Amino acid sequence: MAKITFLGAAGTVTGSKYLVEAEGKRLLVDCGLFEGSRELRQRNWDRLPIDPATIDWVLLTHAHIDHTGYLPRLTRGGFRGPIYANPATRELCNLLLPDSAHLQEEEAQYATRKCYSRHKPPLPLYTVAESQQTLTQFHDIPRTDAFQIGPQFSVRPHDAGHILGSTWLELTITEAGKKMLVVFSGDLGRYDQPILNDPESPTRADYLLCESTYGDRDHPPGDVAAELADAINQTAKRGGAVVIPAFAVGRTQTIMYYLKQLVGQKRIPDLPVYVDSPMAINATELYKNHPEDHDLDFSHQENNGDRDPLNLHEVHMTRSVEESKKINDVVAPCIIVSASGMASGGRILHHLAHRLPDSRSTVLLVGYQGEGTRGRQLLDGAKYLNLFGESVPVRARILELGQLSAHAGKSELLRWLSGFQSAPKQTFMIHGEPSGLNGLRDAIKAKFDWPVTIPEYEQSFDLTV
Ligand SMILES: [Zn+2]
């Protein structure tokens, strides 16, 4: 009998891994890293409950690390099969996985110097070399057309409107001549936003796995541009810096888009903008290669005119570490956009260490801040933040711009679910913290009266026709 096992993003947001088994074959959908609390991160080090060498294929919904960042561990554990993803996702993984490995190596080295690791000697979860090995296992699948993985599995991807290359998947499982359809929502984006397409709607599924990141709430109403302008103008008046932790892929480009608009409309002063993330710079390049996912027009970028949608000719894109460090010397007001988006690692940490003690500055949180991350601590009003083994006072203003989330809010999730013409036999709520999972479950029961389950970590379910 076909079976699904929840090896991540069950009862939490990160670590997406769903093992689907049919006729003795094993397909892993997504292979994400756990992020956030120490307990969750420990799972990245624990042995998987199944031998990675027995997995036949991996299939990815999109490139975010909480959906792909465990792949090098899988390879290390003996997985040698193909990793299926569309070209944009593969190209993003070419950036994201070595970067993730690099951060792991850096953190291990730093912990060695400062002696604060629990591992003796401190080890990276995986190395850059291991991430490169993993990348050789990638194989392209079509952006939207059906693709046969093996006799037991075929997939049809659809645009999820969440990041470049993001998909939700219709997986057809064939077991003993019978077919069943499992829909994996992946991460769903938002409707009527700049840059990315709206998520396509599903129409049918026997089983549905639905993300619930914002299952209990809608994003605050209000005009993103106006609030961003307000935050920047107030900070500029105080002579402070606006520091924006942002995912290198997606949020950074959205911020750049809004900044360009606001300067063009003279709603904010023309401040120096630093995008301090080599990955964000490389990811921005990928937007040019994949016009199928967005509505930005780069055709007139070289004219330095209005048709440079992200203002690439003016923004300071800093690649080298030296350039990055020099931003510390930039006299505010200025705007600094850097990764990671939850301040869990990356260059944003040294900008926070430098600017947080300055009461004139503002830290603008623009994406989801997972439990246990520094971003969440700031959001929750922490007075001190632990950075590089030191306690840094938080005197800067902390503001949240929830509208810029890359995730569908509750109403948008329900709008996406409204596409179904009949009830799935079972809907599994995944990729949410308990409040999000319970919130969306209750909303689905109230609106559609579907059977809904919230699976536990490592729980398995039989899939029947
Ligand atoms: Zn995502």
Residue 241 confidence (pLDDT) above 60: yes
Q: Output the CA torsion 84→86→88→90 (10° steps).
A: 10
Return the pLDDT at 118.
62
Is 187 within 8 Å of 63 (Cβ atoms)? no
pTM for the model:
0.88
Q: Output the CA torsion 266→275→349→126 (10° steps).
A: 150
Ligand 1 center from residue 333 Cα (angstroms): 32
* Cβ-based neighbours of 14, under 8 Å, separated by 6 or more: 8, 32, 33, 34, 35, 36, 40, 66, 370
Token match 């026709």: residue?
465
Name the average pLDDT for the chain. Answer: 93
Return the pLDDT at 300.
59
Residue 252 confidence (pLDDT) above 90: yes
Residue 303 confidence (pLDDT) above 60: no
pLDDT-above-70 percentage for the chain? 97
Ligand 1 center from residue 304 Cα (angstroms): 32
What beta strand segments (E) does 343-455 contain? 362-365, 384-387, 390-393, 397-400, 426-430, 452-453
Ligand 1 center from residue 441 Cα (angstroms): 20
What are 191-207's pLDDT values in tens digits? 998 899 999 999 999 99
Ligand 1 center from residue 220 Cα (angstroms): 20
- The two tokens of residue 440 are 């969306």
Ligand 1 center from residue 167 Cα (angstroms): 10
CA 111 vs. chain centroid, Å, equals 26
Ligand 1 center from residue 369 Cα (angstroms): 13
Ligand 1 center from residue 374 Cα (angstroms): 19
Distance CA 300, CA 459 (A): 52
344 — pLDDT class (breaks 50, 70, 90)? confident
What are 209-239's pLDDT values in tens digits? 999 999 999 998 888 999 999 999 999 999 9
Ligand 1 center from residue 413 Cα (angstroms): 15
109 — pLDDT class (breaks 50, 70, 90)? confident
The residue among 346 and 329 whose pLDDT is bigger is 329
Question: Which uninterrupted H or E stretch holds 107?
Answer: helix 87-114
For helices 434-447 and 410-417, the axis angle rounded to 10 degrees is 40
The CA-based diameter of the chain, rounded to the nearest angstrom, is 69
Backbone φ and ψ for 92, nearest 5 degrees, come out as -65, -40
